[in-house]
Amino acid sequence: MSTYVTAHVARPTRRDAYYDWLQMLTGLGLVLFMWSHMVLVSSVIVGPGVMNAIADFFESTYMAQVGGPLIFLAFLVHFVLAARKIPFRFEGQRLMADHALMLKHRDTWLWLVQVVSAMIILILGAIHMWVVLNDLPITAQKSAARVQSGFWLVFYAVLLPMVELHVSVGFYRIGVKWGFIRSDNRAMGKKFEYGLFALFMTIGVITLIRFATLATVLAE
């Protein structure tokens, strides 16, 4: 005998539309931050001196000291707004999983990917920001020592794909939700999603490898 779980869906209001806009804007702001962060961190590929110079600029202009807490605040606001649509009770989670299995729809699974990746990013991202902001100034040598400790290499090996997956899927879903990606250009939107993920994953992996070998380079 089959058991079906039902849920009451509330009618969207004008306030929900404002929340959706704020969620999208904070999400885009965080994406721009992540890209800027990637420019800073991946500059170590060119040389540790380049990364240190960029980090020193952020330090001297107090962008790191002021911007860090603001980014963390935007991070929390974005999560709270997104959490409005995430079922935290077992019945809701079961209903969500049942619908995903029944529909076999790619975009439904992408939403689940964003939910899972968001939970992981919330925990790991908060830890990363806390550790970095309490160990200023940022330098290539400090970052390399942290990665080479072993634990942090595994930590970033998990955080990196979660962030890039969340960002690339988020861009695609924003495009679908707000009408930029339609039936006639959805294939192109999917290619952009895949390309975005592949590009930043490649940069991130090369950066981690660079940090893992940086001490040897500096010693030469």
Which residue, among 98, 84, 158, has the nearest Cα to 127 in the 3D structure?
158
Residue 99 annotated as lining a ligand binding site: no
Phi-psi region of 5 (alpha: psi -120 to 50; beta: other; left: phi over 0): beta
Eight-state DSSP code of residue 87 = -
Report the Cα 2 to chain-centroid distance in Å: 38
Q: What count of other Cβ atoms lies within 10 Å of the Cβ of residue 203?
A: 17
Which residues 6+ apart lie within 8 Å of 215 measured at CB? 144, 145, 148
Q: Are 136 and 64 in contact (CB under 8 A)?
A: yes
Residue 166 annotated as lining a ligand binding site: yes
Number of H helices, E strands in the chain: 9, 0
d(CA 96, CA 76): 24
Binding residues: 37, 78, 128, 166
Binding residues for heme b: 37, 78, 128, 166
